[in-house]
Amino acid sequence: MKKLIIAALLVVGVSSFAQDNNDRPQRGNMGNMTPEQRTEQRVARMTKDLNLDAETTGTAKTTLR
């Protein structure tokens, strides 16, 4: 009986943590963008973060399309 109560409390505790999505960053306008705009934004961010050259940037664009 004691194990059943502990298991029930554990399930309730885990499910309450699973519902908390406030820590995730918001995506902003990503939902309103076309696939081409999203690809351009991703490539621009990758170019900035990874210091990509022009050839690698072109390869990334074709890969993400």
Q: What is the pLDDT along the chain (65 residues), one digit of tens a residue?
A: 888 898 888 888 777 666 556 655 666 666 688 888 888 888 888 888 988 888 888 888 888 77
> By C-alpha distance, which of 32, 61, 35 is closest to 46?
61
Token pair recorded at residue 40: 């351009």
Q: Which amino acid is at 46?
A: M
What is the maximal distance between C-alpha atoms in the chain? 66
Token pair recorded at residue 27: 């995506």
Contact (Cβ atoms closer than 8 angstroms) between residue 60 and residue 43: yes
Token pair recorded at residue 42: 């991703």
